[in-house]
Chain A
Amino acid sequence: MAKVFVIVEHRQGVMRDATFELISLARELQSRSGLEPAAVVIGHGVRTFADTLSKYLPRTIVVESETLADFRYETYAAVLKDILERETPLVTLCPQSAFGMELLPRLSVESARPCATDCIKVEMEGAGLSVVRSIYNGKIHSRSTFAPSGGYLVTVRSGSYAPAAEAGSAGTIDDCPCPPFKAPFKTEFLGYREAAAGAVDISQSPFLVSIGRGIKDAENVPKAQELADRLGAVLACSRPVVDKKWLGKERQVGTSGRTVKPKVYIALGISGAFQHLAGIKGSGVFIAVNRDAKAPIFSAADYGVVEDMFKIIDALKEQIGS
């Protein structure tokens, strides 16, 4: 029977949430198309992950080696290529993350299997695989199939599938030996670094006023800061504001910045890229102000205002008084 594999993502001793979303997808491919699902976890000290994973899927493949202690595409791709050649899964899933983006396109070349990245829907269509991707800033969905191949690689956007619950029955765990590596390696892992270290912890604030590209200029940032101060809120922002160095990384809301769950989130001039929206999941009241009535932020917000953000900032300040 054809197989679907989930490549397990873990970092610093913790399995990442996206893995459990892919387990949901693998189960869906099992119930709809009869694919046999399995998790593939490789690394050092990952046997305990396998014990957990065996509660979710009927089979877990483990490769344990000290050489795999820190993620490097070189070693991980070599191990996975070996597994793909032995097991020939029809579909191999991995999160679209810093891990998946580094690994899967390269594994695609090394293992001669086509890969589609950042998919939001994955389904079998006859004997082939069909995927949906969100492109042009989320404004268009594109459907694709693949040139026929013995196996397909897919990375999946986080949030596309709900995280799976335990299955209630214990699966099998297959310990596989680590294949020999072709040393010397050309990449070396040196360590982790906190890029968002700073005095402010926006994740601790119940009230965030957040600014995006619409702030237009560094000299406008104090206007938003003043509003936040008067409201008793903390100022946060989306990625473009940090890219331009107008605010520090510690204030960035989103996948690569901070994940927040305030009681109130007011987004000013933020268009609503999915990476940003992923960072405010589960927040309380969400109010968005944007001039573009079609901005994706309005599909995520509770309340929307189509207006120039500066007019709203001024009006709010006037209402509050000084």
Chain B
Amino acid sequence: MEILVCVKKVPDTADAEVVLKQDGTGIKEDDLASGINEWDNYAVEEAIRIKETHGGTVTVATIGSADSEDVLRRCLAMGADNAIMIDDASFKGADPYGIARGLCGVAGKGSYDLVLAGAQAGDDGYAMVGPVLAGYLGWPHATLVTSILLEGKTVTVTRELEGGLEEMLRIELPAVLTIQTGINEPRYVSIMGIRKVRAKEIPVLDPAAIGLAPGEIGANANRIKRTGLAVPPAGKEAEMIKGTPAEIARKILDIVKERGGVA
């Protein structure tokens, strides 16, 4: 089983203040922690589990700058066999089609049975790269996958639907699957583990090496053209309860009694 996992480094914006750059072209990332996209982490874990059960190799690939190397090393420490970095200089500002084009080039250089990707990314959240990549490869796909069972030349997967429902599908290999969070419990990566893989060579490929023509990718080739970023207008705001924890607790209980009528 040869598995390719597509990963990406993203800034962690969940519990952080996000500030726009002065020219409005992006956000200030200097003060933000960053790491592997949460969905991708589950995809890497799932690939390694499949390898541990069925044998084969796991290759992780990213389109990113030298700054993304730590994410690839972390995947190697988790148990991936190989890592590939596609130099992102020519991918600057690429839309999901450009990224999928690049990953299609990477997939074409190997003989993979399965490509896994995160169902979406925590930064721009298109959830498009996986299914678009599958379209470029001419392979079947499934998105939002919550379990994978390998059976010969097919996989049986569940996809997450709404309202606590899932659907089951059987898919022929090779295929592209995009992974939903919660599919597994990603393993812990120790500092010792990362040290062990620090000397492992990570080839850096340029677009030509994966069969892309100049101009095929990057901002000018984009089909989705970003024209501006803005901080959303403030909506309705909650009435803030202030005071010591004891005072706050008393007010909460009053509200629950008076307005909720449940306690």
Contact = CB atoms under 8 A, between A and B. Distances in A.
9 contacts: A106-B132, A114-B223, A118-B125, A136-B122, A142-B229, A207-B260, A256-B162, A263-B261, A287-B256
Given A135-B123, A187-B169, A312-B245, A147 B14 contact: no
A304 to B, nearest CB: 3
B181 A239 contact: yes
A285 B234 CA distance: 21
Interface residues of B, number: 85
Contacts, number: 277
Contacts of A264: 256, 259-260, 262-263
Contacts of B192: none
Tell me the interface secondary structure of chain B in the complex: mixed
B170 interface: yes
B172 interface: yes
B182 A239 contact: yes
Interface string B200-228: 00000000000000000000001111111
Contact of B131 (A106, A137, A233, A314): A106
Given A231-B263, A266-B252, A320-B253, A105 B232 contact: no
Nearest to A301: B238
Contacts of A319: 246, 249-250, 253
B230 A140 contact: yes
Tell me the interface secondary structure of chain A in the complex: mixed
Contacts of A287: 252, 255-256
B144 interface: yes
A290 B228 CA distance: 30
Contacts of B135: 105-106, 108-110
B14 A312 contact: no
Interface string A109-149: 11000111110000000000010011111111111111101
Interface of A: 11, 16, 72-74, 97-98, 101-102, 105-106, 108-110, 114-118, 130, 133-147, 149, 186-197, 206-207, 213, 231-233, 239-240, 242-245, 249-250, 252, 255-259, 263-264, 266, 271, 284-285, 287-288, 292, 294-295, 298-307, 311-312, 314-316, 318-320
Contact of B239 (A189, A250, A303, A312): A303
Nearest to B230: A141
B72 interface: no
